[in-house]
């Protein structure tokens, strides 16, 4: 019977990661089939989880991920990326990574960079052939990872997930539906839930994404731009059991702007079309006013002065809207030209071989230390 090569520095239960009640289980039993990262330098499955102030659910998250990965009976690693947490999540990640090096790896970013930047940091650390991303709020059950891995092994480059039934507010469901339709029209890839981060990617897709230099990106859309074969699976969706959503209304709006401007220049082309239509309308309206002045005299034209002001204000508003959209694209160019790193990794904990990551994927840059 195989025995873990590491010796826990302190009981994992000190941070309440063994669970309580009927679900409680010693983690030594959960990990009995996981071989040493030294003996197996390239795990088959990599799980990347961005974490931002999720201390309330982190214990259950780690336990359920370990249990699920152990059931798959294959090599795996769980990469927890702390995105500048201030609630104790960082200490919990460090403790878990110290006790199970090579199995749980903690990437500690020096501040909050956002969900997608944190995931890209995790991607650069992965060594697996199939990489799965998962949110830390437990709304997407870790047990669904098995479905995505099985689907990916059928030969699909990207496997998305569709939350059924979705446990979100009507506003978020309506906004998500609209975004999904826009993305489908822009990319030509039909997927029904781009907002769900429970997704699986093949190694070559992750390698391609890591070579992209843009600073503001939307990972599901970026991945589909490189994928040849995609698929979707239905997954369960639960209500958030602890903590609060990290996406406010303003952050959701910013995310939609990033999504729109990162995948297509269609809005710029639409501005040209709108400009042509408005110009034609202006010429036609000018001719109409000229004819009415000839027919009814100058008094009629004077009476329509407020209508002209109203139309003028509409045109001015359209111009400001167009300038704002142009500003979004120019701002993206400005950010990319500066070429600043997407993130800065303050410390990596739990990596049994910190230099092995880039060697298994020569197409990618090593993680920034």
Q: Is the pLDDT of residue 17 over 90?
A: no
Neighbours of 275 (CB within 10 A): 13
273 shares a domain with 230: no
- The Cα 126–Cα 128 span in angstroms is 6
Element (H, E) at 159: strand 158-163
Domain co-membership, 324 together with 196: no
- How many of the other CB atoms lie within 10 Å of CB of 339? 8
- CA dist 72 and 142 (Å) reads 12
Give the pLDDT of residue 48: 97
Residues above pLDDT 90, as percent of the chain: 30
pLDDT for position 74: 85
Total structural domains in the chain?
2
Assigned domain for 3 exists? no
Which two three-digit tokens encode residue 50?
């961005």
CA 108 to chain centre: 18
**Whole-number Å distance between alpha carbons of 187 and 207:** 20
pLDDT computed for residue 171 by the predictor: 65
Residues 164 and 302 in one domain: no
What is residue 172's predicted lDDT score, i.e. its pLDDT? 65
Q: Are 225 and 288 in the same domain?
A: no
Residues 61 and 190 in one domain: yes
Residues 258, 300 within the same domain: no
Query: How high is the pLDDT of residue 23?
Result: 44
Domain containing residue 78 = 12-264+341-360
pLDDT-derived band at 184, boundaries 50, 70, 90: low
176 & 288 share domain:
no
* Residue 30 pLDDT: 46
Q: Is residue 368 part of a domain?
A: no
- More confident: 178 or 193: 193
Q: Tell the burial category of 140 from Cβ atoms under 10 Å away from its Cβ (0-12, 13-18, 19+).
A: buried
The residue among 179 and 111 whose pLDDT is bigger is 111
What b/e sequence results for 204-225 when a residue is b if at least 16 CB atoms lie within 10 Å of its CB, and e otherwise? ebbbbbbeeeebbbbbbbbbbe
Sheet of strand 104-109: strand arrangement: 230-235, 158-163, 199-202, 130-133, 45-51, 76-82, 104-109, 345-349
Whether residue 369 lies inside any domain: the answer is no
pLDDT tens-digit map of 126-153: 999 999 999 998 888 999 999 999 999 9
Per the structure block, which two tokens stand in for 356? 């092995």
* Domain presence at residue 7: no
CA 97/CA 137 separation, integer angstroms: 19
Name, in order, each residue with C-beta under 8 angstroms of 2's C-beta and a sequence gap of 6 or more: 32, 33, 35
* Proportion of the chain above pLDDT 70, given as a percent: 64
Q: Map tokens 């701002």 to a residue.
A: 331
In this structure, the answer to whether residues 246 and 293 fall within a common structural domain is no
Statement to judge: residues 87 and 233 lie in one domain: yes
Q: Using CA atoms, how far apart are residues 34 and 66, in angstroms rounded to an integer?
A: 10
Question: For residue range 325-362, what is the model confidence (pLDDT) as tens digits?
Answer: 777 777 777 767 777 788 899 999 987 665 444 323 23
What does the alpha-carbon distance between residue 369 and residue 367 come to, in Å, rounded to a whole number?
A: 6
For the entire predicted model, the pTM comes to 0.69
Tens-place pLDDT, residues 83-99? 999 988 999 999 999 98
Same domain, 150 and 277: no
Cα-Cα-Cα-Cα dihedral of 295, 300, 305, 306, to 10°? -120
Count H helices and E strands in the chain, helices first. 12, 8
Of the two residues 270 and 133, the one the predictor is more confident about is 133
Give, as one character, the DSSP assignment of residue 240.
Answer: -
Same-domain pairing of 95 and 189: yes
169-191 mean pLDDT = 67
Query: Within a domain: residue 5?
Result: no
Q: How far apart are CA 64 and CA 245, in angstroms?
A: 21
């Amino acid at each position: 019977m195989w025995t873990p090569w590491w010796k826990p520095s302190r009981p994992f239960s000190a941070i309440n990661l063994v669970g309580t009640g009927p679900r409680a289980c010693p983690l030594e039993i959960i990990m009995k089939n996981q071989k040493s990262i030294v003996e197996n330098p390239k795990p088959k499955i990599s799980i990347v989880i961005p974490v931002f102030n999720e201390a309330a659910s982190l214990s259950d998250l780690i336990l359920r991920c370990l249990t699920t990965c152990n059931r798959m009976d294959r090599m795996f690693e769980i990469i927890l990326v702390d995105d500048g947490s201030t609630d104790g999540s960082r200490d919990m990640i460090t403790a878990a990574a110290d006790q199970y090096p090579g199995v749980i790896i903690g990437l500690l970013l020096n501040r909050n960079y956002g969900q997608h930047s944190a995931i890209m940091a995790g991607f650069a650390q992965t060594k697996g052939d199939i990489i799965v991303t998962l949110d830390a709020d437990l709304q997407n059950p870790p047990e669904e990872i098995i479905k995505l891995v099985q689907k990916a092994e059928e030969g699909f480059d990207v496997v998305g997930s569709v939350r059924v039934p979705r446990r979100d507010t009507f506003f978020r469901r309506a906004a998500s539906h609209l975004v999904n339709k826009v993305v489908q029209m822009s990319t030509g890839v039909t997927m029904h839930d781009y907002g769900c981060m429970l997704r699986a990617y093949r190694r070559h897709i992750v390698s391609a994404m890591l070579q992209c230099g843009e600073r503001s990106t939307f990972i599901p859309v970026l991945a589909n731009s490189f994928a040849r074969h995609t698929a979707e699976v239905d997954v369960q969706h639960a209500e958030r059991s602890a903590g609060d959503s990290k996406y406010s209304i303003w952050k959701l709006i910013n995310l939609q702007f990033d999504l729109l401007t990162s995948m297509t220049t269609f809005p710029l082309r639409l501005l040209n079309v709108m400009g042509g239509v408005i110009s034609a309308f202006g010429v036609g309206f000018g001719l109409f006013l000229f004819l009415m002045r000839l027919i009814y005299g100058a008094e009629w034209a004077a009476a329509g002065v407020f209508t002209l002001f109203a139309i003028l204000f509409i045109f001015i508003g359209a111009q400001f809207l167009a300038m704002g959209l142009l500003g979004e694209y120019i701002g993206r160019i400005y950010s990319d030209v500066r070429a600043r790193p997407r993130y800065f990794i303050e410390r990596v904990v739990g990596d049994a071989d910190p230099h092995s990551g880039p060697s298994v994927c020569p197409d990618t840059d090593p993680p920034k230390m």
